[in-house]
Chain A
Amino acid sequence: MISVKNLCKSFGDLVAVDNVSLKAMDGMITGLLGPNGAGKTTILRTIYGLQQPDQGEVLIDNINVSENLIPAVAKMGIFPDSIGLYDRLTTREHLQFYGEMHGLRGAKLDAAIEKTQSYFQLDELLDRRCKGFSHGQQMKVALSRALIHSPQNLILDEPTNGLDVMSIRTLRKLLFSLRDDGVCILFSSHVMQEVSALCDHIFIMAEGKMVAEGSRDRLCEISGEENLEDAFVKLIGTDEGIAL
């Protein structure tokens, strides 16, 4: 479970996140939807502890991130803003290394690699160095990196950016099955279709503020619009920076 309480964060004069609270429950897919620059990435970075909040706190399974960063991070699988693979290492070496970073070793590590690579059928890429991988291939390795230790909480920053349709379908199926296994999934996106297709619960952000939250139906209800698309636009106040 991920719980963010009264988060504030400014960069100089710019207020990036203004008193935001959100909760992502186990066994649910929670979406963070907002136009580019709404503060989604800042919130996620604060959740995984690389940005310090000016105010407020973040709890991961009741562990405070600011106070206990390493134990909190161990509970998360993170697909950050940047893919950042090592050109000279193979896919397997990546999974090995990050598995070791999670404390996996020996047979457990091998089993974890075997399981993780099956999610995106990485067999062909497994022993190839990452230099020259297409964007989609890189994304798959990076997603596998987040899943290597079968995390209880999964945090994904724009996970479908640049993925082909087939891969998006694979990712969707994977997220549904993880959810059904009780994993807490939080992901950000500016793509409306994706959020509405995947999420059990949606938070809508604009200009650093939380505008609305709820299920699809609830959001339509709040906005008084029949259709989800109109609901989003109405709630955010503009359709700028949002993709259908």
Chain B
Amino acid sequence: MNVIALSLFDLALAALLILALAGLSHQLRIGSERQLLVAAARSTVQLLLIGLVLKLLFANADPLWVGLLATVMLAVAGREVMVRQKRRFVGAWGFAVGTLSMFVSSFSVTVLALLLVIGSDPWYAPQYAIPLLGMILGNTMNGISLGLDRLTQDAADKRQIIDSRLALGHDWRRAIADSRREAIRVGMIPIVNAMSAAGIVSLPGMMTGQILAGTPPVEAVKYQILVMFLIAAGTGFGTIVAVSLAARRLFDERQRLRLDRLRQPGA
């Protein structure tokens, strides 16, 4: 099982496809050639950088460096969740809601998997810890931003209904319960779809990569199943934590609906 190493020339061939696509986009006046080229360049630079970082990290498995990289990944994911919100919380909460819940879910699921399932030695071995955390974070990020977006949108749309329920003496939990449930459901849709379609409609990227790199298919499949379950757990728990935190934050200490704690879209 040896890997066919890719040469620079091979990658340049693939890059020609992107250039051709950009050329066509220009020709047809679609106007997305600039975005396409910038995104392609960004992904090349980012991936090369992380390749170098991982190379250094693998050679020198210091828990401090692993922790530092994990923290950077978390912060970037937290920022991503924040900027994707149409109505995010004003102030530090805008960043904290998503980041905190990703920390709670992604980190604990990853550590749990490293300690109990994979049993790598040491448990923080970067070859396992970093890719696993990356995959779980990336998916949890999607679930959380979808869930939060739905919750704040729903609360804004149903402001009068929520106020009416509060006026009837319902506590905040009851008044927001329908929106909260719906938001969590929406946050979990992508991972449920991914698990249902896995292997039939789509061959997950991690497994495909492993097979291309020469791993026996059944081993690759086993890892893929593990990763799917970890991602589902991370996304599910993360979305529940994030949506619940945000739902609480929508009400003040006198259980009033405080939409002024959200930034107005377009502001």
- The answer to whether A and B belong to the same complex is no
